[in-house]
């Protein structure tokens, strides 16, 4: 089957994303699942579903948001909180904080380390590759601190949301 046949086939069935996106997301999920196992965490259908949600999301998601994107009854919100915490501990996801203090998570792999530009009004998010995390953490090390991590987020009002009050 040739590539363009695949494309038109997908188009006919209203496949909800690009094939590249699909393959990318799947390999991200696989990579992450591998990491879970290597770290001694168990592979459950709930965790798989969460990783799929995170892989498809272009934005970092809060626990609530992740939960609401799961098919209903996939799992409890508490499980999402607990799993995201574990994922972060083993480095499968990256933790961020919104301006209002909400914790948000995105998959670490495939994207590399990055940060976000978030619209205060509508939540629209753009990826920002600029980062001085290493330099910051070096400063931390120079003070004798260990286990360094950092949080960096940019907020603003996006073009569509300007002009509102």
Binding site for DNA (CB under 7 A): 37, 41-47, 62-64, 74-79, 81-83, 85-86, 100-103
Identified binder of its own copies from the candidate list 10, 33, 57, 119, rule CB under 8 A: 119
- Nearer to DNA by Cβ, of 38 and 159: the residue is 38
Rounded least distance, CB 149 to DNA, Å? 15
- Nearer to its own copies by Cβ, of 30 and 58: the residue is 58
Q: How many angstroms from the chain centroid is the CA of residue 164?
A: 29
Query: From residue 151, how far is each of 13, 88, 92, 154, 157 by CA, in Å?
Result: 41, 13, 16, 10, 20
Q: Which of residues 120-159 bind its own copies (CB under 8 A)?
A: 120, 126, 128, 130, 132, 135-137, 139-140, 143-159
Q: Which residues of 64-93 are buried (b: 16+ CB within 10 A; e: fewer)?
A: ebbbebbeeebbeeebbbebbebbbeeebb
């Amino acid at each position: 089957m040739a590539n363009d046949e695949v494309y038109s086939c997908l188009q006919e069935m209203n496949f909800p994303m690009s094939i590249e996106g699909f393959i990318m997301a799947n390999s991200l999920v696989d990579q992450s699942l591998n990491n879970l196992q290597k770290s001694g965490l168990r592979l459950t259908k709930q965790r798989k579903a969460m990783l799929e949600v995170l892989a498809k999301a272009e934005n970092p998601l809060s626990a609530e948001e992740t939960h609401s994107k799961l098919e209903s009854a996939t799992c409890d919100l508490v499980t999402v909180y607990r799993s995201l915490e574990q994922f972060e501990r083993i480095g499968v996801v990256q933790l961020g904080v919104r301006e209002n203090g909400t914790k948000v998570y995105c998959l670490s792999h495939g994207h590399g380390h990055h940060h976000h530009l978030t619209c205060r009004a509508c939540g629209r998010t753009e990826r920002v590759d600029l980062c001085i995390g290493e330099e910051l953490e070096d400063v931390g090390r120079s003070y004798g601190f260990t286990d360094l991590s950092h949080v960096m987020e940019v907020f603003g009002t996006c073009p569509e949301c300007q002009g509102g009050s």
